[in-house]
Structure 1
Amino acid sequence: MNRLAFSTLPCEGRTLDDMLEMAVRWDFGGLELREGAPWGVSAEMKAETRRSALRSFRRAGVRAIDIASGVCLTGLPGDAAQLENLRRSVRLAHDLEAGGVRVFLGYFAERRDQDMPAIPYEALVAHIASACDDAAPLGVPIWIETHNEFATGRSLRKLLDDVRRDNCAVIYDIIHPLEEGEQPEETVALLGAQCVHVHVKDGVPFEDPLRSSWKYTRIGEGQVPIASIVATLERAGYAGSYSLEWETKWRPELQAPGMEPETVFPDYAAKMSGLLEKLKN
């Protein structure tokens, strides 16, 4: 199985067929589908359009890894609208035979000194459990990304244990636990078999220690120990995809000449294929 994938986030304005052609050209086995009309795949798609999209995936021999929804749950009353959006993304995932639906939890604070509302934890657990129960009849798992207040294996281990749903799992975005000071060996051990998908990226800390995130770089040019993280995951029995989440849309440092998918994607595929081959030998 080809375990390389890329998020379609930096492919805004391109058609699904364009993105599938890119995947085939650069030897990616899967697409992580950002949900929304600008990315060619949307919960608004009509039934025949969905059937046509599924046929395109099958012809290309590329898998829909997951629907990367923008749903974000906080445990507050506003989750009602978010849960409805999630239900629509779950139906889309079912129709495209995607492996799951990505959700976020918490608040996207840019600085550590920002005053953010408290998260009503028990309500959040209940909302996640409800979402999993709604998705279960369609066979679609809910995938929580390591992000925000739930960026670490420590925070997610408790949450997963409290949610207690077999169809609740985690996308391990490898930079975010590091931003919180948690080492990869600990993250991988805590997530265990519930780590079902991996986002690969690289970066360095900002000079300002109150910045919540790191400054992103090209793969291999930052301080994220990608090779050792992949080795740790492989030793732990991880069998999912390694997806490049190239956040051109959100990250000014990636909005520069030479940072386009046509340059970044084939470079990533070559580096990751070489790394995985080396680990096999």
Structure 2
Amino acid sequence: MTSQSRRSALRTTLGGAATIWLASSMDFAKPKPRLSFSTLGCPAWSLDTILKTAVSSGYQGVEFRGLTGQLDLTKCPEFSTAARAAETRRRFAGQGIQIINLGSSAQLHHADTGKRTQHLDEARRFIDLAQQLGCPFVRVFPDQLPPTQSRELTLRLISDGLLELGNYARPRSVTVLLESHGELTRSDLLSQIMTAADHPNVGLIWDVFNMWADSHESPDDVYRKLKKFIRHTHIKDALIENGKHRYVQVGQGEAPLREAISALVADGYTGYYSFEWEKLWHPEIEEPEVAIVQYPKAIAPYF
């Protein structure tokens, strides 16, 4: 081989190595998806088991939707006082797990003054608890379109409630998130609500399966319309059999998760992909010791 040929071969080899190194570096620098799970999927687990499983299974966050059967978190011993909430916060932070969201049962569609006050008061209690826990989000429901009141009134009640709660949450560094849920899973209705409730401390949880199964809209269309409001996601999968949902592990059902996740990733979404395994409502589905542990591996191919 001539000297010129050797120099040419060396440049080719070094160039190839540099390309491989650059590609590897770019892949290494690519942010990994942040994963959490909802305690809706493990209604019998203690706080110790929740934290231990989150750490050992590779999660970065947990969202609390009840604890050991109690849905009102403010009544749980682990959260019932500021001191106990602070201790719970320290335990999770010490293990590198963020408490990312508190799932209240507050519904904003009620016109009845007594019911409305009750639900708004619950949301405020959850916001106060979120502040103590250093938790950024509190979930509320839209939730229904009652036939006894006009649609426009219902949508206004929901957006007004979000604004009221957003004002309460702002000085506490908490954001109130409306979940696409119940009878309000259409992107046009959610867009109307969220536009009217434009507030820095108000956002949306995109439950991909709920919106697809109920409104039959493509995730690309949903994301295009609602992306400016989305702060958090709920991920689950299911088979639709005889008009009913049978929940299965991610990747084994019909939900268009790849399309939804691709839209989120392409647009630079950095929030959590939170596994919502509805074990509390559907006790017949797989045990959390299997489903929750498997989720990080099940969702990995989508990225």
- TM-score, normalized by length of structure 1? 0.86
Q: Distance in 1 between matches of 2:292 and 2:167?
A: 36
Q: Distance in 1 between matches of 2:235 and 2:224?
A: 18
Matches within 5 A, 1:116-135: 116-118=147-149, 119=151, 120=153, 121-135=155-169
Q: Distance in 1 between matches of 2:43 and 2:70?
A: 5
Q: Is 1:266 the counterpart of 2:297 in the alignment?
A: no
The residue number in structure 1 matching 2:252 is 221
- TM-score, normalized by length of structure 2? 0.80
Query: Deviation string for 1:76-118 (max 9, x for gaps)?
Result: 121110000000000111111112100111239xxxxxx8443
Instruction: State the 1:246 CA deviation.
Output: 0.2
200 and 11 in structure 1: CA distance in 2 versus 1, 3 angstrom threshold: same
Matches within 5 A, 1:60-99: 60-77=95-112, 78-99=115-136
Q: Which has the higher helix share?
A: 2
Alignment-mate amino acid for residue 232 of structure 1 = A
Q: Is 1:142 the counterpart of 2:170 in the alignment?
A: no
Alignment-mate amino acid for residue 42 of structure 1 = L
The residue number in structure 1 matching 2:8 is none
Matches within 5 A, 1:144-183: 144-179=178-213, 180-183=215-218
Gaps of 5+ in 1: 109-114, 277-281
Instruction: State the 1:224 CA deviation.
Output: 0.6
The root-mean-square deviation of aligned C-alpha atoms, in Å, is: 2.1
SS in 2 for 1:193: coil
Q: Distance in 2 between matches of 1:56 and 1:160?
A: 35
268 and 37 in structure 1: CA distance in 2 versus 1, 3 angstrom threshold: closer
Q: How many residues align?
A: 262
Instruction: State the 1:123 CA deviation.
Output: 2.7
Q: Distance in 2 between matches of 1:182 and 1:139?
A: 33
116 and 41 in structure 1: CA distance in 2 versus 1, 3 angstrom threshold: closer
SS in 2 for 1:219: coil
Alignment-mate amino acid for residue 170 of structure 1 = L
Deviates more, 1:1-10 or 1:94-103: 1-10
Q: Is 1:53 the counterpart of 2:49 in the alignment?
A: no
SS in 1 for 2:232: strand
81 and 40 in structure 1: CA distance in 2 versus 1, 3 angstrom threshold: closer
Alignment-mate amino acid for residue 264 of structure 1 = A
15 and 41 in structure 1: CA distance in 2 versus 1, 3 angstrom threshold: farther
The residue number in structure 1 matching 2:273 is 242
SS in 2 for 1:199: strand
Alignment-mate amino acid for residue 229 of structure 2 = Q
Q: Distance in 1 between matches of 2:156 and 2:261?
A: 34
Gaps of 5+ in 2: 1-31
